Amino acid sequence: MPQVEKKILKAKEYERMVSSLDIESFELKTSSILEARMTLIGIERIEENLLEIRRQVSADMRSVKLKYLNYDYNKSSLLGSIKRTKVSSKRKSIDKKCDRELGPYENVLYIIDDYLEQIKDVKDYISKIKA
């Protein structure tokens, strides 16, 4: 079965996906048990979406790393000791490019992890109310 290559999304697209969840304006209503349960359901839906986005971001980061890992450093190198020097400098250059490309994705993961931590705190708070 042929393998279909998945398109790597840009970090900005993931940021838009996270912001479309409208987490910042989510209202926590806990004045009654029913409202607390409804709030909990809403939070769990947001959490599921965040976890799915996080999985996609991680998969795209792995794809980016793999792209640079498979880079052929010897393409246009000279022979001998010059070759080793060129490969080493090329490798450093490629590693820097990889880090620059992964930076925005790491920022998205940081944002998602921060939201997930806040969600955990809210879930703990609501569970104490229900008890």
User: Residue 87 has what pLDDT?
Assistant: 64
Mean pLDDT for the stretch of residues 30-40: 88
pLDDT tens-digit map of 17-26? 999 999 988 8
Q: For residue 29, what pLDDT band results from cuts at 50, 70 and 90?
A: confident
Distance CA(115)–CA(50), nearest Å, equals 8
Between 78 and 89, whose confidence is greater? Answer: 89
Q: Could you write out the three-class secondary structure of 58-97?
A: HHHHHHHHHHHHCCCCCCCCCCCHHHHHHHHHHHHHHHHH
Q: What is this structure's pTM?
A: 0.80
3-state secondary structure of 131: coil
pLDDT, mean over the chain: 85
Mean pLDDT for the stretch of residues 93-120: 95
70: left (phi over 0), alpha (psi -120 to 50) or beta: alpha
Mean pLDDT for the stretch of residues 84-107: 85
Distance CA(64)–CA(8), nearest Å, equals 8
User: Residue 77 has what pLDDT?
Assistant: 47
pLDDT tens-digit map of 67-81? 888 876 555 544 445
Between 72 and 116, whose confidence is greater? Answer: 116
